[in-house]
Structure 1
């Protein structure tokens, strides 16, 4: 569909990449990764045709269409949001008008005339085209995409220029998704999306009928959307088949193979050189020496890739606070007629790592500002515990920095006990390398200053951190540094983030802000979705389908616990053929009842074994449920990071066992029911 051959690109004197060969197929689902400055965005612009190559060539098949979404910088105006999105179908709507005009020609022209024949041919061609593109559902298509990207129906009629830059990028993304080009090129599409919109975009791309290539610093998003990773590294392009998690494994395996081959080659080279040096002066060995010299010259030397610096940073541990960090009682917040929070009460304890989640505009940032003391509630109280030192990181934290200060001097002053080497390594993690550390803060861009503000917070933290979108403007490496640092932090953290992987790896509790209330869930985001979905596992794409009550499976979901409960049917009505789906060890297995007419009678011994196994599972399920609830309660009371990880692992195992036992019980119960009704 599109191909790069021997492609190379320079940025001034810097070579970004060279000798890139890439054949993009119609089923391409690729994540483009690499460090900042390696040329990912430039490569995407080259694929889109916006930039040219310095070396090599770019070719594409005739008739293919391209859609490109930059990271930012798009501004739309002059129309409502709905009209702007509907404009992508202007060609179809013009064809619809032409079709209406052709109907008048056909009604007036002589059926035997050339004019009639030409109009009929064109009308047929247009009708087929409009049918293929489903002309009568255009409004519904626009509404579905706008709703998925977080636009309320009230927003649809607002002018596009009324929206901020982030929402403008959402409009641009909506237009691209509606166009459905042959190749979709997305540069950081999740930057301006909340969690709900990201989840919707994941599903959309999962079902997208054409090819797409995307750049993202959201690890979870890459894991669930792509099946190939292209890494730009060391001025070359490296291809790995699989999602991001698989890429990390394959990359480590590839490096191990290269190092093993390099060692073997070095051993051979050293042996050859030793032989040559030892017998070079002996005439009787001249032939063997020349043979080894030729072999040495023919060896194509293996280049060892440079070690990628791995930085591990630990917070300087803050003074301990009291057990209760903050107690919130009957908290209410109104902005005039707009009610944001009503009568909210909760307690945060030492060691909690709480993720605030909810739709855009639900009140997450308002909540975190009130907890930090920067905004007063309309009513209610917030009581800080003993020796609590709070520090707040805002989305626009860069605004409080001294623009005249030099970066390295400023961060050194934050904590003189941390040595300069460690500080420079930390700044390197946040993409400040070389002479960047001597720049004045005032010359940095907004994103750069936000990254610096986060690095500065890591150097001298308080014991209660309130972080509003701390992962904005961070690449995957910097996010990992931040995640590891907070995991080992002994204080308390409450944070807002739209990065699913970051939340899953950090949160011990989830506070959902919805309908002016705060709903509290123990565990990370995966556990939150599990409970919110009625106990339905969500760790695989297929498992996102909701399980419904089915009388043929003799089970239902307990509303209080979110657990599957076996239910014995009264009477002896015949079981109809049906299929239900249950998760067994991370995969979905269909369980199908057999029609009464095909039942094979079991002998009494087999029947007794079947009854005993059903009874054993019925006794085992309540015990598993009790252990799951106990583990969840343990998880809610954070002690150490190691203990939290152990409890999370045990909880996953127990849930898998419970799902497997439930599925087995349902299958055996159906067989037993069939035996009694046959």
Structure 2
């Protein structure tokens, strides 16, 4: 369908990649990965025909269509959201008008005439096209995609220019999905999406009937949407079959094989050079020496590229807080509305955050997450109710636009060294390197950096001198996969308390021990990780409505707060025979349940392979997610029961 042959591209004097050979097939589902600056976005533009090559060729199949979504920069105006999306079908709607005109001609011409036959042939062709594109369901198609991408019906008639940049990109994405081009090219499509709309897009792409290539720094999104990974590394394209998780394993296996081959080749070279040097001066060995020299010259040397070092940065541990970190009572927030009235954002919230909690704050865009986190950070006053910090709590807040509070005249390395004088500069430079600042970048003034670059720096700066309560609003924005891993690893080892807003599911699943969902002006608390949250949302045990059930009275903190002591768990006593028999029955029941769930999952996956409508596919995918969460929980329960039974039988 599309082929790159010997493709190479430069950015100024820098070679991005060369000798790329890539045949894109009609069933392509590829994730394009690589470090920042390797040329991923440039390659996507080449595929889209927006940018050209410096070397090699690109050939496209006749009749194929391309759809390209950049990271940002699109601005739409002049139409309502619905009209803008419906405009992608203008050609089809033109066919409908032509079909109507042809029907009048058929009524006027003699059925035996050549004009009648020509009109009839054209009418038949047009109606086939209209039927193939479901022309009578265009409004339904537009509504389905807009709803999936988070546009409520009340917003469909709003003018496109009334929406912010992030929502403008959603409109552009909606148009591309409705067009269904032969090859869909998406550069960071999840950048402006919340968790709910990301999940919808994941399901949509799973069932997309044509090919797509996408760039994403969202590991979970890559894992569930692609079946091939192309990595731009060491100025070459490397191809892996499977999702991102499989790509990581295959890459490690390839490197192990490469290192083994490199070692064998070095041994061979050393052996040949030793023979040549030993017998070079002996006339009787001249023929053998010449033979070895020719053999040495023919060896195609294996080059081991410099591997990116993995940085494991440990956050300096802060002083301990009291057990209760934040106590919220009857919190309400009301804003003035455009019509002169008021708009309630949050209403009568009551909850407690305790030391060591790692809380993911989730909810649809506009639900009030950022408002809540700002009130917890004491940057915004509630309309009513209280937010009380516990004993010895030192809170630090990271905003989506954190860059605005940085000193633009300060040099990066001097600035970060000033707040962490005890941290060696080599460690600071390594940390800055993880956040994509290398070489002379560390000597730049903060004022010359872009907004995204300054936000990345602000996150690195927070890590070297953290408070014991971190309030993070979208900390993974503008970070690549490597930087996200560094941040995730560092916060996991952090002994303080964290509440964060993120739309990156892998980050949430790797960090959260509780989920706070903001919905309908309330906060609902779900214990456990994100998978547990999805399970309960899908019909598991009822949620705890912290917004209207008062939290228990907090335990008073001691005058000098200290980390909770380590309590040794006493040995488990043997159960009496009746309890032992009950435990055996529970294990047996769990072992019978798991295969049944697995059979249901298999049947659901088979059903999803048959596409009917986007709405049905979305419901089927949601049901499958519920089954998978149920299966994971059943496995955990079975393991816990089996271990307990084993301990009682020892």
TM normalised by structure 2 equals: 0.84
CA contact 1:582–1:589 (8 Å) conserved in 2: no
Q: Would the aligned equivalents of 1:582 and 1:588 in 2 still touch at CA under 8 Å?
A: no
Tell me, in whole angstroms, the C-alpha distance in 1 between the residues paired with 2:130 and 2:637: 49
CA distance in structure 2 between the aligned counterparts of 1:79 and 1:650, rounded to whole angstroms: 47
Residue number in structure 1 paired with 2:334: 334
Which residue of structure 2 aligns with residue 199 of structure 1?
A: 199
CA–CA distance in 2 between the matches of 1:584 and 1:45? 42
- Superposed CA offset, 1:1-35 (max 9, x none): 00000000011100000000000000000000000
CA change 1:258–1:69 in 2 (3 A) is same
Shift in Å, 1:53: 0.4
**1:217-296 map, 5 Å:** 217-296=217-296
Q: Which residue of 2 aligns with 1:370?
A: 375
SS at match of 1:427: helix
- Residue 34 of structure 1 is matched in structure 2 by 34
Q: Which residue of 1 aligns with 2:523?
A: 518
Does 1:405 find its partner at 2:399? no
1:119 positional shift: 1.0
Partner of 1:625: none
Q: Which moved more, 1:649-658 or 1:31-40?
A: 649-658
The equivalent residue for 2:394 is 389
**Does 2:516 match 1:534?**
no
Per-residue CA deviations over 1:556-582 (Å, capped at 9, x if unaligned) read: xxxxxxx9x99xxxxxxxxxxxxx994
Mapped to 1, the partners of 2:603 and 2:111 lie a distance apart of: 61
Q: Which residue is equivalent to 2:610?
A: none
**In structure 1, how many angstroms separate the alpha carbons of the residues matched to 2:214 and 2:179?**
17
Q: Distance in 2 between matches of 1:147 and 1:388?
A: 42
Q: Give the deviation of 1:412 after TM superposition.
A: 1.4
Match of 1:125 in 2: 125
From the superposition, tell whether residues 391 and 139 of structure 1 become closer, same or farther in structure 2 (CA, over 3 Å): same
Q: 1 CA distance for matches of 2:272 and 2:112?
A: 90
Are the structure 2 counterparts of residues 527 and 146 from structure 1 closer, same or farther at C-alpha, using a change threshold of 3 Å? Answer: same
Q: CA deviation at 1:379?
A: 1.4
Which SS does the other structure have where 2:508 is aligned?
helix
Alignment partner for residue 426 of structure 1, among 419, 425, 431?
431
Q: Give 1:139-218 correspondences, 5 Å limit.
A: 139-218=139-218
String of CA shifts for 1:434-485, please: whole Å, max 9, x gaps. 1111112111111111111111111111000000000001000110111011
Q: Residue 587 of structure 1: CA displacement? A: 5.8
How far the C-alpha of 1:208 sits from its partner, in A, is: 0.2
What is the CA distance between 1:657 and its match in structure 2?
Answer: 5.9
Note the C-alpha offset of 1:333: 1.5
SS at 1:480 equivalent: helix
Aligned in 2, Cα 1:650/1:193: closer, same or farther, shift over 3 Å? closer
Q: Report how far residue 285 of structure 1 moved.
A: 2.5
Provide the C-alpha distance between the structure 1 equivalents of 2:459 and 2:123, rounded to a whole number of angstroms: 61
What does residue 441 of structure 2 align with? 436
Q: For 2:406 and 2:293, how far apart are their aligned partners in 1? A: 63
Taking a change above 3 Å as real, the CA distance of residues 655 and 172 of structure 1, as seen in their structure-2 partners, is: farther
Deviations 1:27-66 (A, max 9, x none): 0000000000000000000000000100000001100000
**Number of residue equivalences:** 563
Q: Verify the 8 A CA contact 1:582 1:659 in the aligned structure 2.
A: no
**Deviation for aligned residue 1:408:** 1.4
Counterpart in the other structure of 2:636 = 654
Kept after mapping to 2: 8 A contact 1:468/1:497: yes
Bigger mean CA deviation after superposition, 83-92 or 393-402? 393-402
Provide, for residues 315-353 of structure 1, a one-character-per-residue CA deviation record: whole Å limited to 9, x for no partner.
111111111101111111222422222221111111100
Which string of whole-angstrom CA distances, capped at 9 and with x for unpartnered residues, describes residues 208-239 of structure 1? 00000000000000000000000001000000
**Gapped regions of structure 1 (runs ≥ 5):** 537-562, 567-579, 591-648, 661-678
> Structure 2 vs 1, CA of residues 425 and 176 (structure 1 numbering), >3 Å: closer, same or farther?
same
2:12 corresponds in structure 1 to 12
Provide the C-alpha distance between the structure 1 equivalents of 2:262 and 2:120, rounded to a whole number of angstroms.
71
Aligned counterparts of 2:640 and 2:165: Cα–Cα separation in 1: 47
CA distance in 2, matches of 1:484, 1:403: 29
| Residues 42-96 of structure 1 deviation map (CA, whole Å, 9 limit, x = unaligned) | 0000000000100000001100000000000000000000000000000000110
Q: More displaced, 502-511 or 268-277?
A: 268-277
Matches within 5 A, 1:454-469: 454-469=459-474
When residues 586 and 404 of structure 1 are mapped into structure 2, their CA distance, relative to the original with a 3 A threshold, is: farther
1:659 to partner: Cα distance: 13
Cα deviation, 1:499-525, whole Å, max 9, x if unaligned, reads 000000000100011111111111111
1:289 is displaced (CA, Å) by: 2.2
Could you say which residue in structure 1 is the equivalent of 2:98?
Answer: 98
Q: Provide the rounded CA distance (Å) in 2 between the counterparts of 1:26 and 1:490.
A: 50
Give the secondary structure class of the aligned counterpart of 2:597. strand
Residue 583 of structure 1: SS of its match in structure 2?
Answer: helix
> Counterpart of 1:112?
112
Number of the residue aligned with 2:499 = 494
Shift of 1:199: 0.1
| Structure-2 change in CA distance of 1:134 and 1:581 (3 Å) | farther
Q: Secondary structure in 1 aligned to 2:462?
A: helix
Distance 1:4 1:458 in 2: 43
Given that 1:69 and 1:187 are in contact with CA atoms closer than 8 Å, whether structure 2 keeps it comes out as yes
Instruction: Give the Cα–Cα distance (whole angstroms) in 2 for the partners of residues 350 and 443 of structure 1.
Output: 39
- 1:123 & 1:582 partners in 2: Cα distance? 53
Specify the SS of the correspondent of 2:111: coil
Bigger RCO of structures 1 and 2 (CA < 8 A, at least 6 apart): 2
Corresponding residue of 2:24: 24
Distance 2:76 2:638 in 1: 49
SS at match of 2:47: helix
Question: 2:288, 2:49 → 1: CA distance?
Answer: 56
After superposition, the CA RMSD in angstroms is 2.2
Q: Report whether the alignment pairs 1:344 with 2:358.
A: no
Distance 1:652 1:245 in 2: 24
Q: Does 1:478 align with 2:478?
A: no
Structure 2: gaps (5+ residues): 337-341, 542-585, 605-630, 643-650
Shift of 1:165: 0.3
Query: In the superposition, relative to structure 1, how do residues 245 and 585 fare at CA in structure 2: closer, same or farther (>3 Å)?
Result: farther
* CA-CA distance at 1:584 after TM superposition: 3.4
Give me the whole-angstrom Cα distance separating, in 1, the residues matched to 2:141 and 2:640: 40
User: Are residue 136 (structure 1) and residue 150 (structure 2) matched?
Assistant: no
The answer for the alignment partner of 1:317 in structure 2 is: 317
